[in-house]
Structure 1
């Protein structure tokens, strides 16, 4: 059995218009991981997810979920997979509770005697207990998104696939979703979270795959991907001391030393790249600058982020529309 909960080989989707939405990607989502599937809107994330779940037939390539080929073994494996894709759809004139009851009733693998217990537990888990009897048509966008999450959690899942799960949620709701994802992962569920909000997913994912224009640009453990770039030290000093600061940082053998223009308060930020395993510690940099009579107004260490990695790969900001 493969160690990956999701594996694809050369997965491709070409539409009749000739557009290639997904171009030969090889996803590898380890079991037990929280895999952040990231990329700008239109980069191919949702099309990929729809192929993973058997909702769209690929033009070519293979898909395996939990060690089973899809769509060949979809009926066998999909009951172990929970999903929220492109926003949930429910009966508008039924309550949230009644909608969950209808979904639960069509699952032949569950015990009907415990249906109400499952629905109540799912509603509580996503914070919808107070609105359970409210009609779906009266739900806000965030409440609809929560109900979609509840539907995905009606029964224990080995794999959970969430497409833009924080869409429409306020900051509190977004934090709750992050907490829920961590809780599920701690319990052994593999979670694939697709999003264009990179900063949100970066806080919870253990592994990352970044899409761009239908291509999988890179994937792997999050810490390894961010380690591709060096951390940067930012030293703020009076403009008159900028040259001395640059000289001292270069004497310390730091790389890529540059100085910004002076700002309104008369200070300049001098930047330098440093590797954690070889460069001096920040306190040593501060001490060296003070010994060189360079006034230090402030010093900060900027760790590389996933967005930095994305910009390095594509040369574009993360929120560029495609």
Structure 2
């Protein structure tokens, strides 16, 4: 495992339990989406993993080594972008990276080439000489990502990497994560914006109120939610359509205006279409919708990802 925790817990002096006994399992070579609403405990967990704060109880291992005890040996193999990266405001983006890299005695040679390559990878090549204080929020986030890429990493931990980025920047981050994974780097990506990174992840862990409510391979987790069929008809026929779906054995039939949807279970969509046509119900649209991770989350917690804690 690239990351493993056992009963990792963080309790603050106020009595608040920010992280409640979680057992993370991040396989080597995976892209692990660490997901959940703002305030669900993701950043606190990451800070404990990297040794920035100590746990109240439990243990954590990075790349097979215990943290924080093995931090000096392990952390040079780990790149990290933690929420709100800080740099010297009067220096340019490039100068900040030079200064940061110079502090690392174990950094590989060819510093200038590595820094230029990192800046280009995150789309800051043209703004490399611009002062950090003049950077937008998205540019600051890109520079933090460049800092994490200054040297080859076995593990990359990205906390809200798309924060402040426009849609194009978000797509670039997804592409970069995919490239890193293909090169053999394990990537943990934390986000409260599930839809932005859901499709790039091979594995997922979902947090809610400090607890890890779901974890596993992404494709297997979505099978926990049932498939639904959506039918669009005319307002005067929606009640008749609902009766047809009920007669077919579909459960949880829900009407929303001129649309209705229901759990498919073992019924095929072709059978639904034929039954509606046979009952003279006009069908203006019919589709089967595969459940998303957010569907699974809502089913488990009763809340959406926009819930602030």
- Sort the TM-score into its range (normalised by shorter chain): over 0.9
Q: 1:311 aligns with which of 287, 298, 307?
A: 298
Deviation of 1:246 after TM superposition, in Å, equals 2.2
Deviation of 1:241 after TM superposition, in Å, equals 2.4
Q: State how far apart, in whole Å, the 2-side matches of 1:296 and 1:157 are.
A: 54
Q: State how far apart, in whole Å, the 2-side matches of 1:135 and 1:235 are.
A: 55
Deviation of 1:285 after TM superposition, in Å, equals 2.4
Structure 1: segments with no counterpart, 5+ residues:
263-267
Aligned residues: 309
The 4+ residue runs of structure 1 with deviation greater than 3 A are: none
Please name the residue that 2:71 is paired with: 74
Q: 2:138 aligns with which of 138, 142, 146?
A: 142
Q: State how far apart, in whole Å, the 1-side matches of 2:153 and 2:32 are.
A: 16
Q: Deviations over 1:239-276 (max 9, x none)?
A: 3322332232233332322333x4xxxxx21211124x
Q: State how far apart, in whole Å, the 1-side matches of 2:79 and 2:226 are.
A: 38
Q: 1:129 aligns with which of 125, 128, 139?
A: 125
Q: Normalising to structure 2: TM-score of the pair?
A: 0.96
Please name the residue that 2:115 is paired with: 119
Structure 1 vs Structure 2 CA RMSD: 1.4
SS of 1:54's partner is coil
SS of 1:227's partner is helix
Please name the residue that 1:265 is paired with: none
CA contact (8 A) 2:108 2:151 kept: no
Please name the residue that 1:270 is paired with: 260
Please name the residue that 1:62 is paired with: 59
Q: Deviations over 1:38-75 (max 9, x none)?
A: 11111111110000000001111110001111111111
Q: 1:6 aligns with which of 3, 28, 33?
A: 3
Q: Normalising to structure 1: TM-score of the pair?
A: 0.92
Q: State how far apart, in whole Å, the 2-side matches of 1:194 and 1:279 are.
A: 37
Q: 1:88 aligns with which of 80, 85, 89?
A: 85
Mean CA deviation greater in 301-310 or 236-245:
236-245
Structure 2: segments with no counterpart, 5+ residues:
none
Deviation of 1:83 after TM superposition, in Å, equals 0.2
Q: Deviations over 1:284-317 (max 9, x none)?
A: 4223322332210111222211111111121122
Q: 1:279 aligns with which of 252, 267, 291?
A: 267
Q: State how far apart, in whole Å, the 1-side matches of 2:270 and 2:128 are.
A: 54
> Does 2:289 align with 1:302?
yes
SS of 2:224's partner is coil
Q: 1:97 aligns with which of 90, 94, 97?
A: 94
Q: Deviations over 1:86-111 (max 9, x none)?
A: 12111111111111111111222223
SS of 2:200's partner is coil
Q: State how far apart, in whole Å, the 2-side matches of 1:173 and 1:269 are.
A: 35
Mean CA deviation greater in 288-297 or 61-70:
288-297
